[in-house]
């Protein structure tokens, strides 16, 4: 049996341990209660943040939907306008087809006439000019006629007819100057030649450029001057006079055909001009369809050239002495070649153009 002092000490120790345990339990409970209260306070904040995120996402989706709807509306309006323009401009497409069909026979006739007269001039120059190797005179004449046309061809479809007539008149003047220079033995070439161009390139210098129209540069080039001089040397004054007189008789056949067809070309040109004038007051312009506009413009240019570009004044040389017939002869070849090619390249169809 333990002494009373020891028992009292053990009892106090047990009470002390039990008191500490109770205090710890109470403190733990209070801590858990604090944790629970903190979690309950955070829940509304989390809900608020989630609400804001959902609102922003909904706003973004709404804006994207609105943008898609706006783009769809714009596309729909554009398609409706395009369809309305297509329906409205269809009558101009049909008018173009009608004009082409109405002038189809006239174009074929002037094409065949120009080709036939040009072939007769080829044989004529071979018969009259002195023969010289290695090239026939008809080859020289045909080459010059073709090259003059090719220098002007890129602009025939969009330049006004009056402007192109002035350009052809410039060709005629240049040919006369070239002929005078050949008679005086002058060098009329403005082309420095391939060696000068090569030397300029090797020295890293710029190639000299010219503001002259392409046909004027052609008529001043070494190649053209050489061909012209070769043909000019094969003609004397008597053979040149004979060449002029006999070519006038042949060219007159083309002039008669052109005079006969001029009214058909003029009427077709006036129909297209009147339609375009009327279109200026309408909502949908022909220019909105680039393909249709380009074809209408090209057709009007072709009609203008076929009725205006001619050789009616050549007959006046019949009763006048001409110092040199070759410029007029080469000019006649260029005009005939142009008339034949323009009539041939002017596309026409019995079906309205679709766009």
- The domain segmentation of the chain, as residue ranges, is 91-345
pTM attached to this predicted model: 0.72
Predicted local distance difference test score (pLDDT) of residue 212: 83
What does the alpha-carbon distance between residue 162 and residue 352 come to, in Å, rounded to a whole number?
A: 29
Across 160-164, 207-211, 275-279, the highest mean pLDDT is recorded for: 275-279
pLDDT at 230 over 90: yes
Mean pLDDT of 112-139: 93
Predicted local distance difference test score (pLDDT) of residue 98: 93
pLDDT at 293 over 80: yes
pLDDT in tens, 208-229: 445 788 999 999 999 999 999 9
């Amino acid at each position: 049996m333990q002494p009373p002092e020891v028992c009292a000490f053990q009892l106090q120790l047990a009470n002390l341990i039990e008191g500490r345990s109770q205090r710890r339990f109470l403190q733990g409970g209070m801590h858990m209660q604090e944790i629970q209260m903190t979690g309950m306070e955070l829940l509304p904040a989390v809900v608020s943040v989630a609400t804001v995120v959902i609102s922003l996402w909904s706003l973004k989706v709404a804006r994207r939907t609105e943008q898609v709807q706006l783009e769809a509306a714009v596309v729909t309006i554009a398609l409706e306008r395009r369809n309305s323009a297509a329906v409205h401009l269809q009558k101009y497409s049909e008018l173009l087809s009608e004009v082409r069909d109405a002038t189809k026979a006239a174009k074929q006739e002037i094409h065949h006439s120009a080709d036939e007269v040009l072939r007769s001039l080829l044989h004529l120059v071979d018969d009259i000019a002195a023969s010289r190797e290695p090239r026939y005179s008809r080859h020289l004449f045909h080459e010059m006629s073709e090259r003059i046309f090719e220098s002007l061809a890129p602009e025939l479809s969009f330049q006004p007819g009056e402007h192109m007539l002035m350009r052809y008149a410039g060709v005629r003047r240049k040919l006369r100057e070239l002929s005078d220079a050949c008679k005086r033995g002058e060098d009329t070439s403005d082309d420095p030649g391939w060696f000068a161009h090569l030397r300029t390139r090797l020295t890293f210098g710029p190639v000299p450029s010219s503001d002259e129209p392409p046909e004027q540069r052609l008529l001043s080039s070494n190649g053209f001057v050489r061909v012209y001089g070769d043909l000019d040397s094969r003609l004397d004054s008597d053979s040149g006079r004979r060449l002029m007189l006999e070519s006038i008789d042949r060219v007159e056949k083309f002039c008669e055909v052109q005079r006969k067809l001029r009214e058909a070309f003029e009427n077709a040109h006036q129909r297209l001009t009147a339609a375009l004038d009327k279109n200026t007051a309408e909502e949908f312009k022909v220019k909105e369809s680039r393909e249709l506009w380009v074809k209408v413009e090209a057709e009007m240019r072709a009609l203008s050239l076929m009725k205006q570009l001619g050789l009616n004044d050549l007959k006046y040389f019949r009763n006048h002495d001409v110092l040199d017939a070759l410029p007029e002869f080469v000019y006649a070849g260029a005009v005939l070649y142009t008339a034949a090619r323009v009539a041939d390249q002017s596309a026409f169809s019995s079906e309205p153009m679709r766009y």
